[in-house]
Amino acid sequence: MRQAHGGRLQKVSVDAGFTCPNRDGSAGRGGCSFCNNLAFTPGYLREQRDILAQLDTGIGFMRRRYPDTRGYLAYFQAYSNTYSGVAELRALYERALSHPQVIGLAIGTRPDCLPDEVLDYLAELAERCVLELEIGIESCDDGVLQACGRGHDFACTVDALQRAAQHGLPVTGHLLLGLPGETRDSIRAGARALAELPLAALKFHQLQVVRGSRLALHRKRNPDAVPLLDVQTYLDWVADVLERMPPTLRVQRLGSEVPPALRAAPGWDLRLSALPAMLDAHMRSRGTWQGRLLSVADTAG
């Protein structure tokens, strides 16, 4: 981004009032077991409904925090931001792009919310502004996806990534490590599968039990049913994924933070900003690097 635009670009969150197919009954109700959207939605988005007002507030905050920013991307973040018809999407996206300091869009969605007509429109947008498509992969294991009520399987993710690539759209995938039923072997197998797909970047998230989610209720009833990763195990799993990914894949995020009032567990005593240096040291201690095992078959153990 610095090379292309002469400086830092910053994402500014926008809540456009979308929902998800596993909330409205199309694929299920109640949402994913781990989800409470309040955990990653800035408070001002709940107070302001107009997109331009949200952008004004967010840009004001980002300008104070990152004064060297050269431009802003409107980050359609809350819920599934392609879950509508093209006419409504066009109205929402164009309104965001009308802001004088917004030079592009980052659009977060699910793999089952990307019909070809939406991808056609996103490809059109990508010809005239910066556009980043973010897809929630979460897990590559169908059993894990089913257990958390995701509402789609991994084949749906594969199809969405391939069709997005056919439209010339770079995709950032989200992985949520530590979901119930996930194992180190399944993480490694998933990384192998992802390495074969047209991904431009990854965002890693550690499983956090968020108050108000179905997972929080489940863990309260039976804590042993929702084991959580400690920091060192999480770093091991991230390293396992990176070892099997192409060295050209960009890593946009190594973890996530939930407001303390909404986080039930785990109680990691560190800030997100500490994770890059910790992962770097961890991978050096393992004598490994991104792409080291890209063409090496996994063996038992």
Q: How high does pLDDT run on average in the chain?
A: 92
The β-bridge relationship of strands 130-138 and 8-14 is: unpaired
- pLDDT of residue 254 exceeding 90, the answer is yes
Which pLDDT band, with edges at 50, 70 and 90, does 6 fall under?
confident
Calpha distance 113→72 (Å, rounded): 25
How confident is the model at residue 258, as a pLDDT? 83
Which one, of 121, 120, 114, lies nearest residue 136 by Cα? 114
Q: What is the percent of the chain with per-residue pLDDT over 90, rounded to a whole number?
A: 71
Supply angle C-alpha 125, 128, 133, rounded to 5. 40
DSSP string, 81-126: TT-S-HHHHHHHHHHHHTSTTEEEEEEEE-GGG--HHHHHHHHHHH
Task: State pLDDT tens for residues 108-154.
Answer: 999 999 999 999 999 999 999 999 999 999 999 999 999 998 999 99
At position 20, the amino acid (one-letter code) is: C
Q: How large is the average pLDDT for residues 72-87? A: 95
Task: State pLDDT tens for residues 156-212.
Answer: 999 999 999 999 999 999 999 999 999 999 999 999 999 999 999 999 999 998 888
Which residues neighbour 1 within 8 Å (Cβ) at sequence distance 6 or greater? 8, 9
Domains of the chain (ranges; CATH) run 2-286 (3.20.20.70)
How confident is the model at residue 301, as a pLDDT? 46
